[in-house]
Amino acid sequence: MNLMNQLEPKNAMTEAPLRLTELSHGGGCGCKIAPAVLSEMLAHMPAAQPFANLMVGTETADDAAVWRLNDEQALIATTDFFMPIVDDPFDFGRIAATNALSDVYAMGGTPIMALAIVGMPVNKLPLEAIGRILEGGASVCAQAGIPVAGGHSIDSPEPIYGLVALGIAHPDIIKRNADAKEGDVLILGKPLGVGILGSAMKKGVLDADGYAQMIATTTKLNTVGPALAKLPGVHALTDVTGFGLLGHLLEVCRGANLGATVQASDVPVMPAAVPFAKQGIGPGAIARNLASCGDAVRFDEGVAEWQRSVLADAQTSGGLLVACDAASADTVLETFRAGGFADAAVIGLIHSGPAEVRIAG
């Protein structure tokens, strides 16, 4: 079925076809509240009471909470939802579900079940299109081998979809941001540029190949997470989403109280995103992310403006970022590539010093 016909309102004879992205003020993980603003919002939250079985909570800015069930099992719990980053309802559902499950994989876990989070403008969006969003999410969960076992829905002015995702892992392989070590190599599993391509799409300048690149990366499950977490040399694991590579790497540095250096030219970027980045096309989240990083991120003079934008670009369903000892780097890359992540690359190094990120040209 043609997408424009699918989203055509009842009075389509007099009105232009409806696009999902026109119904929301932002899209994908670019909707996330900026890190600096979020920190200010949470600044006066009371300290969490100690719970002996809470292995990971809010203290290390990790991807999910982890609760020890017993000596062999830990429960991973996370939630993620956002507004449309694309106009195709089925693709929107797939991207949102893939992104939500990524948080489980990033902790080294295997998903076991999901619950749907649904907010839809039911008087604006045809029920058939809403159904396609849910089908897209369910198809990804089926690919991951888990059920969508329930959920909650509301009538909202903007379309919102995502998942509560639950997973299981052995307590000994849970990977936290705070566990990166001095001398670790940084490896990124997916190329950057999702937010930039999404902005190009909204402007009507993204061609079919560029859209295909965006969909291919945002709907690829990070199922390699558990295999990476079991490698003895892997110390920290996170996924790169709305705060961009810079923001999420800075969380790793702050958690471990270490610095990092990234070689800008080594960071994988989707080919279609490069010309748009050079034209200054990208989501507003880029500026927010750069502002939130502040002086904690330093760029060498040789780093081009477009590269700075790419490094701060808000990723939706982005790649896993691994900190591992140098001796394990080849094994980590082989594990990524065996899982179908051909763009995985070494991008930098964790080192002593203040919790800052230097971008080398």
Q: What are phi and psi of 250, to 5 degrees?
A: -65, -35
CB 339, CB 322: distance < 8 Å: no
Q: Average pLDDT for residues 109-117, to the nearest whole number?
A: 97
Tell me the pLDDT band of 20, cut-offs 50, 70 and 90. confident
For residue 141, the model assigns a pLDDT of: 98
What value does the mean pLDDT take over residues 349-359? 97
Which residues fall within 8 angstroms of residue 3, CB to CB, at 6 or more apart? 87, 88, 89
Would you say the C-alpha torsion 225, 228, 232, 237 has a positive or negative sign? Answer: negative
Joined together, the tokens standing for residue 351 give 């080192």
Confidence band, pLDDT 50/70/90 cuts, at residue 177: confident
Asked if the model's pLDDT at residue 14 lies above 50, the reply is no
Q: What is the mean pLDDT of residues 9-30?
A: 55
- pLDDT digit string (tens) for 252-300? 999 999 999 999 999 999 999 999 999 999 999 999 999 999 999 999 9
Q: Provide mean pLDDT across the span 236-244.
A: 95
Nearest to 244 by CA among 295, 210, 293, 280: 293
Binding site listing for Mg(2+): 63, 103, 239
Q: Which carries the bigger pLDDT value, residue 111 or residue 47?
A: 111
Res 361: pLDDT? 86
User: pLDDT band for position 59 (50/70/90)?
Assistant: confident
Q: For position 33, what pLDDT does the model report? A: 58
> 10 Å Cβ neighbour count for 6?
17
CA angle in degrees (0–180, nearest 5) for 250-251-257: 85
Separation of alpha carbons 306 and 267, rounded Å: 13
Query: pLDDT confidence of 38, banded at 50, 70, 90?
Result: low
pLDDT, position 60 = 78
Residue-level pLDDT at 1: 34
Note the pLDDT of residue 50: 79
Catalytic residue, from 29, 31, 141, 324: name it: 29
pTM of structure: 0.88
The confidence score (pLDDT) of residue 21 equals: 76
Mean pLDDT of the chain: 90
Task: For residue 29, indicate whether it is catalytic.
Answer: yes
Say which residues have a Cβ less than 8 Å from residue 214's Cβ, sequence separation at least 6: 86, 193, 194, 197, 198, 201, 206, 270, 272
Res 220 pLDDT > 50: yes
Write down the pLDDT at residue 136. Answer: 97
pLDDT at 260: 98
Tokens representing 178 are 């705070």
Percent of the chain with pLDDT over 70: 88
pLDDT computed for residue 41 by the predictor: 63
Angstrom distance (rounded) from CA 230 to CA 209 = 36
Helix axes 244-256, 305-312, angle to 10 degrees: 70
Rg (CA), the chain: 20
Give the mean pLDDT of 5-33.
53
Please report which confidence band the pLDDT of residue 12 belongs to, taking 50, 70 and 90 as the band edges: very low
The secondary structure of the chain, three-state, reads CCHHHHCCCCCCCCCCCCCHHHHCCCCHHHHCCCHHHHHHHHCCCCCCCCCCCEEECCCCCCCCEEEECCCCCEEEEEEEEECCCCCCHHHHHHHHHHHHHHHHHHCCCEEEEEEEEEEECCCCCCHHHHHHHHHHHHHHHHHHCCCEEEEEEEECCCCEEEEEEEEEECHHHCCCHHHCCCCCEEEECCCECHHHHHHHHHCCCCCHHHHHHHHHHHCCCCCCHHHHHCCCCEEEEEECCCCHHHHHHHHHHHHHCCEEEEEHHHCCECCCHHHHHHCCCCCCHHHHHHHHHHHHEEECCCCCHHHHHHHHCCCCCCCEEEEECHHHHHHHHHHHHHCCCCCCEEEEEEECCCCCEEEEC
Mean pLDDT of 241-262: 96
Whether the predicted pLDDT of 43 surpasses 50: yes
| The pLDDT of residue 42 | 64
CA torsion, ordered 93, 166, 103, 314, to nearest 10 deg: 40
Q: How confident is the model at residue 2 (pLDDT cuts 50, 70, 90)?
A: very low
